[in-house]
């Protein structure tokens, strides 16, 4: 049983560019949450998707958007990249309403130059 | 505002016991989680407390006092592989996870 997978593993972009990160949830999970983790900090909640809709959103600007597909996989898009967007982006999957079953993917390390 | 505090770094000796504290102030409370994160890796679930008291799971135990907004993670019989960051996270009234910055635990032989 594959756990949560994310792609790519690492990514280097320049300021102003756009990036798309991908996540496939653990088999049987229907909810995907995205987090940003800056170096030496705890994760910050970006948003959560369930039934192909954004259900909750953290304190992130509209440059951060997402999508969930019918197979429950998800994408995170970031437009107009800033240096401060450099971070580890984590995807976590769960069943709706059961955060105890939240499993994290290995993350995508984004570096913005 | 919402706030979770935990020490930045702790050092302990292999075979010893260490207690990592976490205090929180959040809008609502739907449980407190502890995660372990090795450098460059994803967080992995350690424990979940929603009622006051001690939850024991092998070498790891977690305690919660909701009235004090306080939790601790107790690690016994420390092993070198326990060197990692330990993250405290609280589920708030919207079931969003609010995370602390993590405690880096260094284990010395």
Could you give the angle at the alpha carbon of B50 between the alpha carbons of B74 and B9, nearest 5°? 35
The string of pLDDT tens digits covering residues B79-98 is: 999 999 999 999 988 878 89
- Which positions in chain A touch B89 (Cβ < 8 Å)? 42-43
Confidence category of residue A95, pLDDT binned at 50, 70, 90: confident
- Which positions in chain A touch B99 (Cβ < 8 Å)? 42-44
Quick check: A103 and A3 in contact, CB under 8 A?
A: yes
Quick check: A74 and A6 in contact, CB under 8 A?
A: no
**How far A43 CA lies from chain B's nearest CA (Å)?**
6
- Which positions in chain A touch B97 (Cβ < 8 Å)? 33, 43, 45, 99, 102
Residue A98: the pLDDT is 76
Residue B68: the pLDDT is 96
Q: Starting from the edge strand earliest in sequence, which strands make up the sheet with B3-5, in order?
A: B3-5, B18-25, B70-75, B60-65, B53-57
Nearest CA in chain A to B33: A100
Q: Is B23 left (phi over 0), alpha (psi -120 to 50) or beta?
A: beta
Burial label for B101, CB within 10 Å (0-12, 13-18, 19+), is middle
The string of pLDDT tens digits covering residues A25-51 is: 999 899 999 999 999 899 999 999 999
The string of pLDDT tens digits covering residues B1-50 is: 789 999 999 999 999 999 999 999 998 999 999 999 998 888 999 999 99
Q: Does residue B105 carry a pLDDT above 70?
A: yes
Please give the structure tokens belonging to residue B25: 């102030």
Measured distance CA(A39)–CA(B70) in Å, rounded: 25
Please give the structure tokens belonging to residue A13: 């972009």
Binary contact (B43, A104; C-beta < 8 A): yes
End-to-end CA, chain A: 37
Nearest CA in chain A to B43: A104
- Which positions in chain B touch A100 (Cβ < 8 Å)? 31, 33, 45, 48
The string of pLDDT tens digits covering residues B49-70 is: 999 999 999 999 999 999 999 9
With an 8 Å Cβ cutoff, is A60 touching chain B? no
Nearest neighbour of A58 by CB, restricted to B33, B48, B96 = B96
Measured distance CA(A98)–CA(B93) in Å, rounded: 14
Please give the structure tokens belonging to residue B79: 């092993």
**How far A17 CA lies from chain B's nearest CA (Å)?**
25
**How far A21 CA lies from chain B's nearest CA (Å)?**
16
Measured from the Cβ of residue B78, the count of other Cβ atoms closer than 10 Å reads 19
Binary contact (B41, A106; C-beta < 8 A): yes
The string of pLDDT tens digits covering residues A43-84 is: 999 999 999 999 999 999 999 999 999 999 999 999 999 999
Measured distance CA(A59)–CA(A46) in Å, rounded: 7
> CA-CA distances (angstroms) from residue B17 to B10, B39, B48, B65?
12, 22, 20, 21
- Which positions in chain B touch A106 (Cβ < 8 Å)? 41-42
Which residue has better confidence, A102 or B24?
Answer: B24
Q: Does residue A1 carry a pLDDT above 70?
A: no
């Amino acid at each position: 049983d594959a756990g949560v997978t994310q792609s790519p593993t690492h990514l280097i972009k320049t300021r102003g560019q756009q990036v798309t990160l991908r996540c496939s949830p653990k088999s049987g999970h229907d909810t995907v949450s995205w987090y940003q983790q800056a170096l030496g900090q705890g994760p910050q909640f970006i948003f959560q998707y369930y039934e192909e809709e954004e259900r909750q959103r953290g304190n992130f600007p509209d440059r951060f958007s997402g999508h969930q597909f019918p197979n429950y996989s998800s994408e995170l898009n970031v437009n107009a990249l800033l240096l401060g967007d450099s971070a580890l982006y984590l995807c976590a999957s769960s069943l709706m309403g059961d955060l105890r079953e939240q499993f994290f993917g290995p993350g995508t390390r984004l570096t913005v130059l | 505002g919402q706030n979770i505090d935990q020490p930045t770094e702790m050092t302990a000796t292999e075979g010893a016991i260490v207690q990592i504290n976490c205090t929180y102030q959040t809008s609502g409370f739907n449980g407190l989680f502890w995660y372990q994160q090795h450098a460059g890796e994803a967080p992995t679930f350690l424990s979940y407390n929603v009622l006051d008291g001690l939850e024991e799971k092998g070498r790891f135990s977690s305690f919660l006092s909701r009235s004090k907004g306080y939790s601790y993670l107790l690690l016994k019989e420390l092993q070198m592989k326990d060197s990692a960051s330990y993250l405290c996270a609280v589920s708030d009234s919207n079931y969003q996870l609010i995370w602390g910055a993590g405690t880096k635990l260094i284990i010395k032989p």
